[in-house]
Amino acid sequence: MYKDLLDYIVKNLVNHPDKVEISEVEVNEKLILKLKVDKEDMGRVIGKEGRIIRSIREIIYAYAMKDHKKVSVDIEENKGE
């Protein structure tokens, strides 16, 4: 559910949507979404001074609040190819 929302948002931002990977890890009743994007798309996802990734995190956090869940988003560079 949260993974799908993150996937939709990020794939509409990046130039290489086929290289977007999202994995879920549950740690101490907190869901962590690990986002991997192509090296060229890092700037598009992070944004100037981190504004875009901060906004994405706020959207996911607000969406999770309706289910009383804690969800965070971590971003990594996709090392593939």
pLDDT of residue 80: 59
Spatial separation of the C-alpha atoms in residues 70 and 17, rounded to whole Å = 26
Residues 6 or more apart from 63 whose CB is under 8 A from it? Answer: 2, 5, 71
- Tens of pLDDT, residue by residue over 20-72, are 999 999 988 899 999 999 889 898 899 899 999 999 999 999 999 988 889 99
pLDDT: which is higher, 5 or 81: 5
pLDDT of residue 13: 92
pTM score, whole prediction: 0.86
DSSP string, 16-46: -GGG-EEEEEEETTEEEEEEEE-GGGHHHHH
Residue 28: name the closest of 66, 69, 63 by CA: 69
Spatial separation of the C-alpha atoms in residues 61 and 78, rounded to whole Å = 23
pLDDT band at 5 (very low <50, low <70, confident <90, very high): very high
